[in-house]
Amino acid sequence: MDNLQPELRRQAVEMTNQLPAAERETLLVKCWMSHDARWFMAAAQECGMEVANRLNQTASRGVGKVEAQRIERALQLPPVKTLDDYLLRQERMISLLGPELLDYGVTKTSGDTCQMQVRRCFAHDNAARAGILDQYECGIFARVAGWLDAAGVDYELQPELGKCLKAQGQECAYSITVRT
């Protein structure tokens, strides 16, 4: 019997390569986001929102650290020495991992502090659609904390991670201070 797998793989790769690179990247991000949302809901249904939120915080921060390290190596990024270095690194990661997922702005409030203001957030939107917004804790800034951890800098993130600020009727605005 002949092994069909090599020929099947060749055909699959040929077909996949017909998609433009940007379209493939968008498809991969959407698939990842679907997994993320369904994993969270499965954890919430099986274990409750408190456990799902705690696991999501831990996993988001951990994946943030790992993905930042991978991206740093792949792009051969220099070490972060200033807030400006970190902000450029963060933008590189967001532009690679799904820039259409967030609508946000960044302003410097001092030499070592900036404020991120999120106007639209996919996690908030998905939590609202799922009817869990009143209990949802932000996983987005847990991921940002992982990026900061990977940068190896002393930093402060305010307010502390917790309930979704938008769900509490507040502006989603976090200050990041990078001490060098």
pLDDT of residue 1: 84
Nearest one of 34, 18, 48 to 132, comparing CA atoms: 48
Mean pLDDT of 113-137: 94
Rounded-to-integer distance, Cα 103 and Cα 119, Å: 5
Provide the mean pLDDT of the chain: 94
Residue 99 is predicted with a pLDDT of 86
Which residues, at least 6 apart from 154, have a Cβ–Cβ distance to it below 8 Å? 178, 179, 180
- Per the CB < 8 A criterion, the answer to whether 90 and 147 are in contact is yes
Closest-CA residue to 87 (of 179, 178, 156): 178
SS3 for 142-179 is HHHHHHHHHHCCEEEEECCCCECCHHHCCCEEEEEEEE
Number of residues in the chain: 180
- Residue that has been written with the tokens 């900061």 in this structure: 148
Domain that holds residue 124: 5-179
Please, which pLDDT band fits residue 139 given cuts at 50, 70 and 90?
A: very high
Residue 59, pLDDT score: 96
Report how far residue 80's alpha carbon sits from residue 92's, in angstroms, rounded to the nearest whole number. Answer: 13
CATH number at residue 56: 3.30.1380
Q: What is the pLDDT of residues 55-103, one digit of tens each?
A: 999 999 999 999 999 999 999 999 999 999 999 999 999 998 888 889 9
pTM of the model: 0.89
Q: Is the pLDDT of residue 49 over 90?
A: yes
Task: State in Å, rounded, how far the first CA of the chain is from the last one.
Answer: 63
Region 104-122 average pLDDT? 95
Question: Into how many domains does the chain fold?
Answer: 1
How is residue 55 written in tokens?
């696991």
pLDDT for 180 beyond 80? no
**Residue-level pLDDT at 98:** 86
Comparing C-alpha atoms, which of 119, 131, 120, 113 is closest to residue 45?
131
Q: What is the CB neighbour count within 10 angstroms for residue 54?
A: 14
Mean pLDDT of 131-150: 95
Tokens 């790992």 correspond to what residue?
A: 66
- What CA–CA distance (Å, rounded) separates 9 from 3? 11
